[in-house]
Amino acid sequence: MIPDKDLQSLVAYRGDNKVLSVYLDTSLAAKSKDAVRLLFRERSKHLSEAQDDLAKVQRYLDLDYDWRARGLAIFSGGEALWTVVPLPVAVRTQAYYAIKPQIRVLTDIVDRFGSYGVALVDQERLKLYAVAMGRIDPVLEKVGEEVRSYKQGGWSVRGGQRSAATTHGDVNPADRNLREAAHEIQTFCSGDGPKNLVLGGSAEALGRVRELLPNRIREHILGDFLVDLDEPSDQVLQRSLDIAVQLDLAAEKKLVSQAVTAANKGGQGVTGVVDTLSMLYQGRVRLLLVDEAFRREGHICAHCGYIASKAPTACPLCSYETFDATGDVGNAAIHKALATGADVNIVRDNVELEKAGSIAALLRY
């Protein structure tokens, strides 16, 4: 499954039928399959005109889906379109029915969890994996010199106390192996290799490999986790995804807090739909933050971004007479952001943003 190709064909999609776009939280960690199906029915019942496509999705969940991914994106447009994209992270269950596929959640996830490398190291071994959109592929496995003499001294105890670097005398086999591993990781991450990296393995090996890696690679280490190198790749994938997700949520929280604090102080931040739209139309937004679930209808002044629930004859702020009606203000805001060169971040599970009106921005000035 190469989602880039899927994504491009979805962006380019021009069909005669409307398209049903569905995002599903299919993580079974805290709920049953039935609960997933129920939530889907609940969140899609307002789309009664999409009955045939909805039934198709329902059938897929009942009969064909293997329940392995944490989330799903499904696009269905009559006979013309049927695309299922397994997602590496859980997404809020939501459904849309419109002329174009609703791809904003999908593109956001591809951007952020699209691909990274995983390097597992211990005293003797190195394993490299490439992760792309929730799929893990082995790239390299290397067994170095045996470190038997150290094992006799209790070296093989996991989470061991000694660092290989502090052993007296010549460089010991373990350290030689780790240097070799660091070298391989560098090669892996250069050229077309992954930009971001998750490390796993034994505690002492992880510490040493970090030291041995050059800064330019160390800066792109998302995190690390303790793991036995014989762990199945499926587990390695899940553990590395947990790290990526946590990191992403933490980064998002920081950005939201920054925007809210700046807005409260009258600085370079803004919250709520009215102020955020106004700043977007002035081209002052550097980063737009939109809650994944934000949805609102409205009429937006095409000149200044003034928003009204009912279209006035003229804009009360700028007297402009053209208003764009939209069923999804969030989507309109995202388009405006992209058109003015701002970055967009779709935010999940963030109470602070919800309280601030589910939309906010960091400003250029």
Interface residues with Zn ion (CB under 5 A) are 301, 303-304, 306, 315, 317-318, 320
Shortest reach from residue 327's CB to Zn ion, in Å: 20
Of 240 and 276, CB closest to Zn ion? 276
Of 274 and 293, CB closest to Zn ion? 274
Shortest reach from residue 330's CB to Zn ion, in Å: 20
Strands ordered across the beta sheet of 197-201: 135-143, 125-132, 115-121, 197-201, 221-226
Of 143 and 317, CB closest to Zn ion? 317
Of 190 and 322, CB closest to Zn ion? 322
Shortest reach from residue 308's CB to Zn ion, in Å: 10
Shortest reach from residue 300's CB to Zn ion, in Å: 9
Amino acid at 154: G
Shortest reach from residue 315's CB to Zn ion, in Å: 3
Beta bridge partners of 363: 285
Which of 318, 321, 336 lies closest to 276, judged by CA? 336
Helix (H, G, I), strand (E, B) or coil at 292: coil
The two tokens of residue 26 are 């299919």
Q: Measure the CA–CA gap between 365 and 356, rounded to whole angstroms.
A: 20
Shortest reach from residue 339's CB to Zn ion, in Å: 17
Of 4 and 321, CB closest to Zn ion? 321
Q: How many CB atoms lie within 10 A of CB 82?
A: 14
DSSP element (H, E) containing 342? none
Of 39 and 302, CB closest to Zn ion? 302
Which of 292, 295, 276 lies closest to 337, judged by CA? 276
Of 217 and 315, CB closest to Zn ion? 315
> Which letter does DSSP use for residue 32 in this model?
-
Shortest reach from residue 321's CB to Zn ion, in Å: 9
Shortest reach from residue 319's CB to Zn ion, in Å: 7
Amino acid at 163: S
Helix (H, G, I), strand (E, B) or coil at 168: coil
Q: How many CB atoms lie within 10 A of CB 132?
A: 18
Q: Distances in Å between the alpha carbon of 236 and those of 72, 98, 131, 283?
A: 20, 38, 10, 43
Of 80 and 317, CB closest to Zn ion? 317
Of 171 and 317, CB closest to Zn ion? 317
Token pair 């009912």: residue: 310
C-alpha 330: how far from chain center: 18
Shortest reach from residue 317's CB to Zn ion, in Å: 5
Phi and psi torsions of 335, nearest 5°: -60, -45
Q: Where are the alpha helices (DSSP H) in the chain?
A: 3-12, 33-44, 51-59, 104-113, 148-152, 173-189, 203-212, 215-218, 233-264, 273-281, 329-339, 351-355
